[in-house]
């Protein structure tokens, strides 16, 4: 099994994963619908993709490293029969390499047949659970948290009367974040961790049910949004409809605020808040907290655009499109030198010169991790003739890492821990630099019907951080190809 080494030093918060599933009560073409649903979640992960279809209790799977359009071609998709249940996954890995064995859905055979699992999240007691299982003789194929979860479900199933009971028992054991879609031979199950770190929602298309990371994917296949899966809730769908169960493992709810700022698609609604409106509001608050005189307001595509519109409408300063983003450039391969990286950055993002020439420009971006991208953006704006460049960031400064599924660098590697705002302003070459406050960030999610996590900005986490970090020995042995 080959793996791919990937460059994790990108100057952006990396997305996570997207999960999707359908329980087919209408003889729908669920292969096509799941394919389209995964397209709707592609922004959450572009490193691997997969789909499992359950037909007559048997799983059929196509998955690989790549994106929806490259993995699902005519030949591969013809291997999937139309069936009763589907489970789909798009993945961004938070490890330093792509392990083909960890691509999802993960299909496991156990005492009651097969399980297919697709997960978004990071189990914070993963290392303890996995080493405990290994000490008992368990053998794992991958470094995937989903594999450990599947193993626990199958172990609990031996003493439980139903898959529902086994999954609820597994929820009692897990800490951290997870939003999962699971198929058994006859049921589709969706569950969200008791903190509700990651979004998960339920939809309907005709008489069939959908479980999805985001509502935009339900919309994209012509479905109707029903509601969010609540923190600590397990939804089980079978021939009689959908049933709700709750874990007794109650926790402080803690939806990741960065879903609103960056991760989710603007046309999604998460826990009662429209993502586009949250981003616009971030821009409005950013202006109220950090006004500056200028001629135009521009956003860095894609997640800075809505916030820029909010800043423009609150300030009365004209909104303008300053950048064209080339969406066809994938990730930067490992081993690429600094010059080539700069060229790739330039190819990815180009300035429309006549828009910015001679102007005082306010540029809105969603975050600063290392500062290289911000420096590049200021440089190309000034090269294009911008008279002044004022940088406004629609999130607070990142000063802590994330332990719950977002791939942030260690605290000491975050640029805001190495330089003051004024020093950073000079380093990136901006005429001014300001961030949204933590209070302002919370206001962007006004109306959210669960609690919120701001741990990477405030250092306050509502869940236990990992006590032990899992050391993946396999990671040192893999080869590039």
| Residues designated catalytic | 17
Nearest 10 degrees: Cα torsion 75, 76, 79, 84: -130
The single residue among 404, 416, 425, 448 that binds ligand SF4, judged by CB under 6 A, is 404
Nearest to 187 by CA among 106, 104, 114, 89: 114
Number of residues that bind ligand SF4 (CB under 6 A): 11
Report CA Rg, the chain: 22
CA distance 250 to 75: 46
Residue number with CB closer to ligand SF4 (184 or 373) = 373
- Taking each continuous run of H as one helix and of E as one strand, the counts in the chain are 16, 26
Cβ–Cβ contacts within 10 Å for residue 136, how many?
A: 8
Confirm or reject binding of residue 455 to ligand SF4 (CB under 6 A): yes
Q: How far is the CB of 179 from ligand SF4 (least distance, A)?
A: 12
Pick the stretch among 42-50, 231-239, 380-388, 447-455 that binds ligand SF4 (CB under 6 A): 447-455
Pick the stretch among 117-125, 131-139, 334-342, 450-458 that binds ligand SF4 (CB under 6 A): 450-458
Q: Where do we find the tokens 């999707």? A: 20
Pick the stretch among 43-51, 234-242, 252-260, 427-435 that binds ligand SF4 (CB under 6 A): 252-260
Binders of ligand SF4 in range 189-218 (CB under 6 A): 197
The single residue among 406, 424, 433, 436 that binds ligand SF4, judged by CB under 6 A, is 406
Residue number with CB closer to ligand SF4 (350 or 437) = 437
Q: How far is CA 375 from CA 167, 354, 361, in A?
A: 48, 21, 15
- The token pair at 120 is 């978004």
Residue number with CB closer to ligand SF4 (124 or 309) = 124
Confirm or reject binding of residue 453 to ligand SF4 (CB under 6 A): yes
The single residue among 149, 355, 363, 402 that binds ligand SF4, judged by CB under 6 A, is 402
Binders of ligand SF4 in range 254-273 (CB under 6 A): 256-258
Contacts of 183 by beta carbon, 8 Å cutoff, 6+ apart: 21, 52, 54, 59, 85, 86, 87, 105, 114, 115, 116, 189
- The token pair at 84 is 């009763």
Q: How far is the CB of 457 from ligand SF4 (least distance, A)?
A: 7
Q: Which chain residues interact with ligand SF4 by CB under 6 A?
A: 197, 256-258, 402, 404, 406, 453-456
């Amino acid at each position: 099994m080959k793996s791919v080494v990937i460059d994790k030093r990108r100057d952006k918060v990396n997305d996570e994963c997207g999960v999707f599933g359908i329980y087919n009560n209408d003889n729908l073409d669920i292969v096509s619908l799941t394919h389209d649903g995964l397209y709707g979640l592609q922004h959450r992960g572009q490193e691997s993709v997969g789909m499992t279809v359950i037909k007559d209790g048997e799983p059929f799977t196509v998955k690989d490293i790549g994106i929806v359009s490259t993995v699902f071609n005519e030949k591969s998709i013809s291997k999937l029969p139309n069936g009763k249940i589907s489970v789909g996954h798009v993945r961004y890995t938070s490890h330093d390499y792509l392990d083909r064995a960890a691509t999802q859905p993960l299909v496991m055979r156990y005492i009651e047949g097969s399980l297919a699992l697709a997960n978004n999240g990071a189990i914070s007691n993963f290392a303890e659970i996995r080493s405990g299982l290994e000490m008992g003789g368990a053998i794992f194929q991958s470094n995937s948290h989903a594999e450990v979860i599947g193993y626990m479900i199958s172990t609990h199933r031996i003493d439980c009367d139903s898959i529902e009971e086994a999954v609820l028992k597994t929820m009692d054991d897990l800490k951290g974040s997870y939003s999962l879609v699971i198929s058994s031979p006859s049921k589709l199950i969706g569950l969200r961790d008791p903190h509700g770190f990651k979004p998960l929602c339920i939809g309907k298309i005709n008489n069939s049910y959908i479980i999805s990371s985001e509502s935009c994917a339900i919309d994209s296949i012509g479905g109707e949004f029903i509601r969010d899966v609540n923190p600590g809730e397990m939804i089980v769908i079978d021939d009689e409809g959908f049933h709700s169960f709750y874990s007794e493992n109650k926790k402080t709810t803690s939806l990741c605020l960065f879903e609103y700022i960056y991760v989710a698609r603007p046309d999604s609604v998460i826990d009662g808040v429209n993502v586009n409106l949250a981003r616009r509001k971030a821009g409005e608050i950013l202006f109220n907290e950090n006004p500056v005189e200028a001629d135009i307001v521009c956003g860095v595509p894609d997640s800075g655009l809505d916030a820029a519109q909010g800043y423009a409408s609150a300030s009365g300063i004209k909104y303008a499109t300053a950048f064209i983003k080339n969406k066809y450039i994938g990730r930067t391969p490992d081993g690429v030198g600094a010059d080539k990286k700069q060229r790739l950055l330039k190819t990815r993002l180009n300035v429309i010169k006549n828009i910015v020439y001679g102007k005082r420009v306010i540029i809105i971006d969603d975050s600063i991790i290392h500062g290289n991208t911000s420096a590049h953006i200021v440089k190309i704006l000034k090269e294009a003739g911008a008279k002044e460049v004022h940088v406004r960031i629609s999130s607070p400064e990142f000063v802590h890492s994330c332990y719950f599924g977002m791939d942030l660098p260690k605290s000491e590697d975050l640029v805001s821990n190495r330089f003051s705002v004024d020093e950073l302003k000079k380093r990136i070459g901006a005429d001014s630099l300001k961030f949204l406050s933590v209070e302002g960030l919370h206001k962007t999610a006004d109306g959210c019907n669960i609690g919120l996590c701001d741990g990477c900005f405030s250092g306050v986490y509502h869940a236990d951080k990992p006590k032990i970090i899992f050391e993946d020995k396999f990671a040192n042995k893999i080869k590039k190809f």
